A and B are shown apart, each in its own frame.
Chain A
Amino acid sequence: MSLLEINDLHVEFRLDAGTVEPVNGVSLSVEAGQTLAVVGESGSGKTATALSILRLHPTPPCHYTGGEILAGGRDLLKLPEREMRRIRGNEIAMVFQDPMTSLNPLKTVGAQIAESLRLHQGMSRSEARAQAVPALREVGIPNPEQRAGEYPHQFSGGMRQRVMIAIALACRPKILIADEPTTALDVTVQAQIMELLAALQERFGMAIVLITHDLGVVARSADQVLVMYGGRPVELAAVDDLFDAPRMPYTKALLRSMPRSDVPGGAPLDPIPGSPPNLFAPPGGCAFHPRCSLAVPECATEVPPLLERAPGHSAACLLEGSP
Chain B
Amino acid sequence: MTGFVARRIGHTLLVLFCVATVSFFIVRLAGDPVQQMLPPEATTEQEATLRASLGFDRPLPEQYVSYMTGLLSLDFGQSVFFHRPAFEVIMERLPLTVDLAVAALAFTLAVSIPAGIVAAVKRGSATDTSVMASVLVGQSTPAFWVGILLILVFAVHLQWLPASGTGSPAHLVLPAITLGLYSAAMIARLLRSSLIDVLGEDYIRTARAKGLSGFRAVTSHGLRNASLPVVTVVGLEVGSLLGGAILTEQVFSWPGIGRLTVEAITYRDYPLMQATVLFLAAVFVVVNLIVDLSYALLDPRVRLS
Contacts and interface: CB of A to CB of B under 8 A. Distances in A.
Interface of A: 54, 56, 85-90, 93-94, 96, 98, 101-107, 115-116, 119-120, 151, 153, 164, 167
A54 B299 contact: no
A270 to B, nearest CB: 34
Given A101-B201, A105-B225, A151-B301, A90 B211 contact: yes
Given A105-B301, A106-B298, A86 B211 contact: yes
B212 interface: yes
Contacts of B203: 101-105
Contacts of B299: 105-106
A93 B207 CA distance: 11
B83 interface: no
B255 to A, nearest CB: 43
Given A151-B301, A153-B301, A116 B202 contact: no
B205 A96 contact: yes
21 contacts: A87-B211, A88-B209, A88-B211, A89-B211, A96-B202, A101-B201, A102-B203, A103-B206, A105-B203, A105-B225, A105-B299, A106-B224, A106-B298, A106-B300, A116-B211, A119-B210, A119-B211, A151-B300, A151-B301, A153-B301, A167-B206
B213 interface: yes
Contacts of B205: 56, 96, 102
B221 interface: yes
Interface string B94-108: 000000000000000
Nearest to B209: A94
Interface residues of B, number: 20
A4 to B, nearest CB: 16
B51 interface: no
Given A56-B205, A98-B202, A167-B206, A104 B211 contact: no
Contacts of B212: 85, 115, 119
Nearest to A93: B209
Interface in B183-211: 201-203, 205-211
Nearest to B298: A106
A164 B220 CA distance: 18
B221 A104 contact: yes
B211 A85 contact: yes
Contacts of B298: 106
Contacts of B220: 115
Of residues A88, A102, A104, A107, which shows the largest number of chain B Cβ atoms within 10 Å of its Cβ?
A104
Interface string B216-228: 0000110011000
A54 B210 CA distance: 10
Contacts of A98: 202
Given A151-B300, A153-B300, A153-B301, A102 B202 contact: yes
A115 to B, nearest CB: 6
B-side interface mostly: helix
Interface of B: 201-203, 205-213, 220-221, 224-225, 298-301
Nearest to B300: A151
Contacts of B210: 88-89, 93, 115-116, 119, 167
The 8 closest A-B pairs by CB, nearest first: A89-B210, A89-B211, A88-B211, A101-B202, A104-B203, A102-B202, A151-B300, A94-B209
Contacts of B202: 96, 98, 101-102
Given A119-B211, A120-B211, A102 B206 contact: yes
Contact of B209 (A56, A103, A106): A56
A119 to B, nearest CB: 5
Contacts of A88: 208-211
A120 B211 CA distance: 8
Nearest to B200: A58
A52 to B, nearest CB: 13
A119 B217 CA distance: 12
B301 to A, nearest CB: 5
A159 B210 CA distance: 19
A96 B204 CA distance: 12
B302 to A, nearest CB: 10
Name, among A56, A85, A151, the residue most crowded by chain B CB atoms within 10 Å (CB to CB).
A85
Contacts of A120: 211
Given A89-B209, A106-B225, 17 more contacts: A56-B205, A56-B208, A87-B211, A88-B211, A89-B210, A90-B211, A93-B209, A98-B202, A101-B203, A103-B206, A104-B203, A104-B207, A106-B300, A115-B207, A119-B212, A164-B206, A167-B210
A96 B207 CA distance: 11
A246 B129 CA distance: 54
Contacts of A94: 209
A57 B299 CA distance: 29
Nearest to A170: B210
Contacts of B208: 56, 88
B227 to A, nearest CB: 10
Contacts of B206: 96, 102-104, 164, 167
A96 B206 CA distance: 8
Contacts of B201: 101
A208 B208 CA distance: 19
Q: Which of B210, B220, B225 has the most CB of A within 10 A?
A: B210
Contacts of B300: 105-106, 151, 153
A62 B298 CA distance: 34
A54 B225 contact: no
A147 to B, nearest CB: 14
A107 to B, nearest CB: 8
A151 B224 CA distance: 15
